[in-house]
Amino acid sequence: MLRGINRNNLFLDSQDFYKMSKILKAIAKPTEINGDIKVPVCSIYAYCLMTNHIHLLISENKETISETMKRIGVAYASYFNKRYKRSGPLFEGRFRSEPVWDVEYFCTLIHYIHNNPVKAGLEKKAEWYKWSSYHEYELPEEAEDTCICTRAIPFKKMSLKEIKNIVLENTILDTDTIHINPFKSKRIGDDDALMLIKTLLPEDMAIEQIKSLPKVQRLELANQALDMGLSHRQVNAFIGISHATIYRNTKLKTVK
């Protein structure tokens, strides 16, 4: 979730909503440059653009969630500041994120994200709200190139009726119907934590070398690891950055 600074509005008219939609599509769909197909930086399974915040259900691809959210924030803030002749930060501090480890929580989020406009009193029904992914689920498969959302795993085995049931009634699918993550539990064990940290490092760097990195690099690495679902204990043990240090530096960034 990204929220406007001081809870100010991010979208003042339809053009603003369209611009954010265009940014999301650009990062979530393959692009062709000089005949080469570039892999999208992420997959988006659900989104909802509210007046002063946005909700995204994202699967990482070739870059971390931190990099993806920064990409979105920088692109939209640049557009917004130029259009409205303003300066300074547009978003409130760092984005908020939670890992999705199981089918039940995935389905709960699909329901929650699309019903946000109903909860806020913007519409009486989730399917009436224009700026969410609900309408994309109703498009035929051949129209997927025009959508922001992907219909690959975990939607591959789901019918339109099943998706609508999740959105409208919070129906929870059988565990075997969709696949969320190779990990079986919400908590990541230390062995898996080390494996995930390894994916964030250059190919020629060993885990043992992390603590010799400059503090600023370890802080960035720590934030990326937390975004992937590692605990603060694991980040402190394997990267050498404490919870207090992360909190203190996050506060400093917000103040600046």
Q: Tell me which long-range contacts 13-17 makes (C-beta under 8 A, separation of at least 24).
A: 15/83, 16/80, 16/83, 17/49, 17/130, 17/131
pLDDT of residue 99: 79
The torsion angles phi and psi of 169, rounded to 5 degrees, stand at: -125, 0
Which are the contacts of 54, defined by CB distance < 8 A and separation ≥ 6? 1, 2, 10, 20, 47, 48
pLDDT of residue 86: 93
The model's pTM is: 0.66
Mean pLDDT split into 10-residue runs, the chain, 256 residues: 92 97 90 71 91 92 84 95 94 82 80 91 92 85 78 63 78 50 53 81 86 91 81 88 78 44
CB 240 within 8 A of CB 210: yes
CB 194 within 8 A of CB 201: no
- In the chain, the N- to C-terminal Cα span, in Å, equals 21
CA-nearest of 98, 91, 96, 97 to 254 is: 91
Q: Homologous superfamily of 2-169 in CATH?
A: Transposase IS200-like (3.30.70.1290)
What would the two tokens of residue 157 be? 């085995």
Q: Where are the domains of the chain?
A: 2-169, 190-255
How many residues belong to the chain?
256
Separation between Cα atoms, residue 168 and residue 78, nearest integer Å = 35
What would the two tokens of residue 215 be? 């503090």
Q: In what order do the strands lie in the sheet with 2-3?
A: 2-3, 53-60, 42-49
